[in-house]
Homo-oligomer: A and B are copies of this chain.
C-alpha cells in the first residue's frame, strides 16, 4: 500500500533534514573554550532560519572540548559527540520534538524523535 505523506511524516522529515544539515555543516569547525559560545550561537541561529523550525537549542560539551584539546596547538574540532541539540519543528498542525545527543552505550551521536504532538 502506498500513500502520500501526512503532516506528521512531513514534520519528521523536516526535523531530520535540520539535524543532518547541522551535523554536516558545522562538525569539523576549529574549536576551543574561547570560541565555543560563539559557535553554539551561530549554529542555533543558522539552523533556525530554515523552514518549519519553531525552536532550536544547541549545546557543545565543554568537558569534551577540554579533554580533546591538542597539546601542541591548543584547539580541537567540533565533533558530533560534543553536540546536544533540542529541536522543535511544526508542519501543518503537527509539532515534532527531536534531539541529537551522544549515546554512550552505542558510542554514537544519536538523532531521535522524542514526541509527536497534534496541535488541533
Chain A residues within CB distance 8 Å of chain B? 1-5, 8-32, 34-35, 38-39, 41-43, 45-51, 70-75, 77, 80, 96, 98, 106-108, 111, 113, 115-118
Contact = CB atoms under 8 A, between A and B. Distances in A.
B35 A4 contact: no
A3 to B, nearest CB: 5
Given A23-B21, A28-B28, A73 B108 contact: yes
B39 A35 contact: no
How many chain copies does the complex carry?
4
A118 B39 contact: no
Contact of A24 (B10, B25, B32, B35): B25
Most buried by B among A20, A35, A38, A107: A20
